[in-house]
């Protein structure tokens, strides 16, 4: 069940209330009994934990760059053309 923050506009009484989403909105202040008790807009209170994408990807920094293959797995550079027409396709 979600927790809703309420505040009275008359006396200033504030309280967090555990309610079902289907429960009616509270309007009567429990302190001063005025009909000015209103639900407040608040930020959600949750934190993601574990090894999901948020912890491993897009976190920033250079340590998340794609790994560079070892020199033994890097393809060798193509030999320079000697102009001899040896099937290189550039003549």
Mean pLDDT of the chain: 75
Tens of pLDDT along 46-89? 666 766 655 555 556 555 555 555 555 555 555 555 555 555 56
| In-domain check, residue 60 | no
| pLDDT value for 20 | 93
Cα–Cα separations (whole angstroms), residue 36 to 4, 39, 43, 82: 16, 10, 22, 89
| pLDDT value for 50 | 66
| In-domain check, residue 56 | no
| pLDDT value for 2 | 86
| pLDDT value for 69 | 55
3-state secondary structure the chain: CCEEEEEECCCCCEEEEECCCCCCCCCCCCCCCCCCEEECCCCCCCCCCCCCHHHHCCCCCHHHCCCCCCHHHCCCCCCCCCCCCCCCCCC
Domain that holds residue 29: 3-39
- pTM given for the model: 0.49
| In-domain check, residue 70 | no
Domain count, the chain: 1
């Amino acid at each position: 069940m979600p927790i809703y923050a309420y505040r009275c506009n008359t006396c200033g009484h504030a309280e967090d209330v555990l309610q079902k989403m289907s429960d009616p909105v509270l309007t009567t202040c429990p302190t001063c009994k005025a009909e000015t008790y209103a639900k407040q807009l608040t930020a959600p209170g949750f934190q993601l934990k574990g090894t999901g994408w948020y912890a491993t990807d897009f976190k920033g920094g250079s340590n998340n760059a794609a790994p560079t293959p070892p020199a033994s797995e890097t393809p060798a550079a193509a030999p320079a053309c000697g102009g001899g027409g040896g099937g290189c396709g550039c003549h």
